[in-house]
């Protein structure tokens, strides 16, 4: 992947997941592949891998909308996804990009649920998927994006674990942001959720 890419996933997170929940030659899919970190890690660990994105950043990422994954049912061994958290970052110029929808709207979760249904469809029974998401605090309003997505995911998957991923080198970890947090009474968001779930 590219560390300059907005929303890049730390490679070590994916490495740990693939070490725990896959073996060599298993098929790994990332339906929102971004800068391709999942592809890089899976290749290093000798996993088969398919990376999709609505706005591909390199030739080995296939252009596709995650709400309709072009794979047969029950064919995938592991899915990793680090989806948009809201409309706070410009992920793509594509009009259909879920990252253009505010997490304050029900539509955001409806569209992510369509992705969850597709992940459930392509995963083999008993296999695992992992989803990265973060909450939002903007303009004095908190949105529990992670918990709202969790409510949708548990319709389709059995929870295995919920991990908090700390964010290093945050732009908010500066004196000016510390002062703003005190002045406007909000917490600096230094983590993302990592949901680990199994298809029954």
Q: Could you tell me what percent of the chain has a pLDDT over 90?
A: 72
pLDDT at 176: 81
- pLDDT band of 171, cuts 50, 70, 90: low
Residue 169: pLDDT over 60: no
CA distance 17 to 79: 10
All structural domains of the chain with their residue ranges: 11-198
Q: Is 95 exposed, middle or buried (0-12, 13-18, 19+ CB in 10 A)?
A: exposed
In angstroms, the Cα distances linking 97 to 22, 54, 64, 81, 163 are: 29, 7, 11, 15, 26
User: pLDDT tens for residues 184-199?
Assistant: 777 776 789 999 999 9
Residue 70: pLDDT over 60: yes
User: pLDDT tens for residues 141-155?
Assistant: 889 999 999 999 999
Q: Could you tell me what percent of the chain has a pLDDT over 70?
A: 90
Output 127 or 136, whichever has higher pLDDT: 127
Decide: helix, strand or coil at residue 61.
Answer: strand
**Backbone torsions φ then ψ of 173, nearest 5 degrees:** -90, 60
CA distance 107 to 109: 5
Measured N-to-C along each axis, helices 37-44 and 11-21 cross at an angle, to the nearest 10 degrees, of: 50
CB of 115 closer than 8 Å to CB of 82: no
| CATH class belonging to 11-198 | alpha beta
């Amino acid at each position: 992947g590219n560390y300059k890419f907005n929303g890049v996933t730390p490679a070590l997170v994916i490495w740990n997941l693939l070490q725990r929940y896959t073996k060599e030659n298993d098929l790994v899919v990332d339906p929102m592949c971004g800068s391709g970190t999942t592809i890089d890690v899976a290749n290093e660990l000798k996993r088969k891998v398919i990376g999709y994105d609505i706005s591909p950043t390199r030739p080995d990422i296939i252009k596709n909308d995650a709400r309709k994954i072009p794979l047969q049912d029950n064919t995938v061994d592991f899915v990793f996804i680090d989806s948009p958290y809201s409309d706070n970052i410009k992920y793509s110029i594509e009009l259909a990009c879920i990252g253009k929808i505010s997490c304050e709207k029900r539509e955001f979760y409806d569209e992510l649920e369509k992705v969850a249904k597709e992940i459930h469809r392509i995963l083999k029974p008993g296999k695992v998927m992992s989803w990265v998401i973060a909450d939002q605090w903007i303009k004095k309003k908190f949105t529990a994006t992670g918990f709202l997505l969790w409510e949708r995911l548990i319709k389709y998957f059995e929870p295995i674990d919920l991990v908090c991923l700390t964010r290093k080198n945050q732009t908010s970890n500066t004196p000016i942001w510390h002062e703003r947090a005190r002045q406007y009474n909000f917490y600096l968001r230094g983590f993302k959720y990592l949901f680990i779930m199994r298809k029954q």
